[in-house]
Amino acid sequence: MKAKALLIANVFLFLVATLLLAAGQTSFWLQVFGYFPPPALWIPALVYIALFRSTMSAVIVSHLIAIALATATSMPEGLMMISCLAVALSVQIFKTRFYWTATTYFMLVSGLATLVFHIYQFAASWIISDHPLTSPALSSWIIQALLTPLFAPLLFPVFRWFDQITHRTEPPEITGAYTV
Amino acid sequence: MNFFAFDLRKLLIVIAVIALPILSINMKRNPGEDPWYSRPFSWFVAASQGGYSSFTSGVRGTTSMYLNLMGIKKDNLRMQRENEELRAQLGALAELKLENERLNSLLQFKLNTKMELLAAKVIARDLSPDHESIRINRGYRHGLRKLMGIITVQGVVGYVLATEMETAQILVLTDRSAAIDALVQRTRARGLISGKDANSIRLRYLERADDVGVGDAVVTSGLKGTFPKGFPVGKVTSVRKTDFGISQEAYVEPVVSPSNLEEVFVVLNSGGEDFNEKLATGFGAPLLSKMNAPGNPQGVAPASAPETAVKTQ
């Protein structure tokens, strides 16, 4: 019973953090830097979940994240869910091919995930949307993909702390026991 | 005893020694002239004193300069701080002045229209750079409902997509899923405005035979009362007509740039306002002239109130 409560608390914390980060990206950044493309601050949360959870957990949490974040965009919810899911699965596949225990890895994957999120969203809009993306904001994609890794190292300890306070076992990848 | 047995050489030396001061006193009778033998000493003393004087004055000067520099450095730091504070105040004042002008123009606009408007501030933008929506600080508690029109003094911004208690999500007309009924002002050709990218929109489903040209103003149709009739939307930049098909499409540059929005109006009730009449009487002339003015994407309208304004609410 307690284990379930802790699991729910963990997911809840990640959802709240994701929403706070998204709000910071869309509102705080706007007030400070105007309409200059912001970093995709919520992507590291999705990346963390994809890296250090089982595939089933990652799929469920990515859907929850997508549903939560759809309120902050005019993007259709389904498109958001498909894009997030594709990112989470891509990160898991990438991890089976390349992995090293360092902050640089989390930074690299966060940057790549930001870029592929836009690519998946672009592709998915042509497949499932009535209004496909004809003029992608390529410069914003690149700026976001470059800015996001800069914030990833700051967020990583926070996510680890979430895991600690909800008594989640430290992933072997973090403790160093994990080998590809 | 040999009284005379003295040393003459010693005697001469003693006499000379005794005589020297007398001789010196005697030679000093003319005080205007230094005796020849004292000149080298005098020169040496003068040179030494001069040297010491220069040295001490140099040291004193350097010390004084150092102390002054310390003072100057402190003064400099203080003045730099003051300068920064003044600059910050100046920047804040300039910002306030611009905001004042902007709000004044919004107020004048609100006072001179039949529409029931609610001013709102843009508080957030879309999560995705490929979607164009904004969030404003007004929600259903303030009377906002879905599909209510959003405008600035300059032209159409979009419409309400979703409402929360204190905020609302606005779909900007540059979003590709946006749809606003619009007319070509000159020929009254009717079409549907939807977004193309962040900076341009399309007027779709124009009849193939419709007369549409580059530079034509596109205005709202006023259908359903979401927007006032004849309110500026944009200006045609190109027309695309394929070899076959029953419709044509025009690319339009929006009057309002969504990337510079700060304050907007929610059209709670358009009140049957017809801007075609106002344009004819000169009210809309500044709006349309702004459409053609380069480098003014912000919705800043002329500060003075139009004289031809209709009833004030």
Give the CATH number for residue B164. 2.40.10.340
Q: Is B257 helix (H, G, I), strand (E, B) or coil?
A: coil
> How do residues B158-178 score in pLDDT, each as one tens digit?
999 999 999 999 999 999 889
Encoding tokens for residue B116?
Answer: 């029931």
From A146's Cα to the closest Cα of chain B, the distance in A is 14
pLDDT, average across residues B259-263: 84
Number of domains making up chain B? 2
Size of interface A-B (CB pairs under 8 A): 75
Average pLDDT of the residues of chain B: 79
Question: Is position B169 within any domain?
Answer: yes
> How do residues A46-103 score in pLDDT, each as one tens digit?
999 999 988 998 999 999 999 999 888 888 889 999 999 999 999 999 998 988 877 8
From A51's Cα to the closest Cα of chain B, the distance in A is 23
More confident residue, B24 or A78: A78
Encoding tokens for residue B101?
Answer: 């002008």
Residue whose C-alpha is closest to residue A136's, from A149, A147, A121, A151: A121
Residues B77 and B202 in one domain: no
pLDDT, average across residues B96-125: 83
Q: Is B249 on the interface with A (CB under 8 A)?
A: no
As a whole number of angstroms, the distance between CA B113 and CA B312 comes to 6
Which of A74, A121, A134 is the mutation pick for testing B, counting most B CBs within 10 A?
A: A74
Q: Is A128 on the interface with B (CB under 8 A)?
A: no
Asked if A87 and A13 count as a contact pair (C-beta separation under 8 A), the reply is no
Asked if B197 and A137 count as a contact pair (C-beta separation under 8 A), the reply is yes
Question: Is position B272 within any domain?
Answer: yes
- DSSP H helices in B156-284: 275-280
Residues B86 and B132 in one domain: no
Report the sign of the C-alpha dihedral through residues A168, A171, A174, A175, in that order.
positive
Chain B residue with CA closest to A130: the answer is: B177
pLDDT, average across residues A17-23: 92
Cα→Cα distances A134→A121, A129, B202, Å: 12, 12, 12
Question: Is position B92 within any domain?
Answer: yes
Determine the pLDDT at residue A168.
81
Determine the pLDDT at residue A172.
64
> How do residues B206-248 score in pLDDT, each as one tens digit?
988 888 889 999 999 888 888 988 999 999 999 988 777 788 8
Residues B46 and B185 in one domain: no
Choose the final residue of a domain: B48, B80, B111: B111
Q: Which A residues in the span 14-73 are in contact with B, Cβ-Cβ below 8 Å?
A: 22-23, 25-27, 30, 35, 37, 42, 69, 71-73
Determine the pLDDT at residue B309.
31
Is pLDDT of B283 > 60?
no
Residues B85 and B127 in one domain: no
Length of chain B: 313
As a whole number of angstroms, the distance between CA B227 and CA B269 comes to 8
Q: Which residues contact A62 (CB under 8 A, 6 or more apart)?
A: A46, A49, A50, A81, A84, A85, A87, A88
Question: Is position B303 within any domain?
Answer: no
Contact B132 A74 (CB under 8 A): yes
Residues B77 and B163 in one domain: no
Least confident of A17-26, A153-162, B195-204: B195-204
- Residues of A with Cβ-Cβ distance to B95 under 8 angstroms: none
Residues B103 and B152 in one domain: no
Residues B247 and B223 in one domain: yes
More confident residue, B62 or B302: B62
Question: Is position B9 within any domain?
Answer: no
Domain carrying residue B105: 37-111
pTM over 0.90: no
Choose the final residue of a domain: B111, B132, B154: B111
Residues B102 and B133 in one domain: no
Least confident of A47-51, A114-118, B21-25, B183-187: B21-25
Question: Is position B188 within any domain?
Answer: yes
Residue whose C-alpha is closest to residue A114's, from A155, A146, A74: A146
